[in-house]
Amino acid sequence: MIIFESALHTLKKYADFSSRASRSEFWYFFAFVLLAQAAARVLDAFFGRGGYLPGPVAGLVGLLLLIPQIAVAVRRLHDISRSGRELLVPCVMLALLPVVASFGGFLPRIVALGYAGVTLLVFANLLLMLTKAGRSIPNKYGASPTAFSFAR
């Protein structure tokens, strides 16, 4: 039940890109998104729209949860005194990955493999930042979300 309570708390801050989010808020919302996408995929499969690509229900759920996912990730980066702009490079690299991988020939495929490796390293760095503990003192992004909480 804590996942859904945390998700509701995060969804109330649908497009808040300015404050801070604790580790638990981010990861509980991440788990909620995974559960929501799984349920949407099951519904798509039930209605015969399932397959490799997401069906209409999973696509709609993904679109509806995109902004809160980005917002909570930006707030999580704020909690460790990092700018939300640091989310831009991994997202752009991930978006360009299919374009780079589509080039034919031997040399372009080697470049695409190297690009995929660099993208993986950038996402590993982002994952490391998202798992760091936030500071319990105020920073330029606001007060700590766990400063007066006994549950961290």
Which of 17-26, 88-97, 143-152 comes out lowest in average pLDDT?
A: 143-152
pLDDT tens-digit map of 30-50: 999 999 999 999 999 888 877
Joined together, the tokens standing for residue 97 give: 């990955």
| Residue 31, pLDDT score | 94
151: left (phi over 0), alpha (psi -120 to 50) or beta: beta
State mean pLDDT over 74-86.
92
Residue 150 has pLDDT above 60, yes or no: no
Tokens 């399932």 locate to 50
| Residue 147, pLDDT score | 62
Residue 52 has pLDDT above 70, yes or no: yes
| Residue 3, pLDDT score | 84
Q: How far is CA 123 from CA 25, 117, 119, in A?
A: 20, 10, 6
State mean pLDDT over 129-145.
87
Distance of CA 97 to the CA centre of its chain: 17
Q: What percent of the chain has pLDDT over 70?
A: 95
| Residue 36, pLDDT score | 95
Joined together, the tokens standing for residue 12 give: 């109330």
State mean pLDDT over 72-85.
93
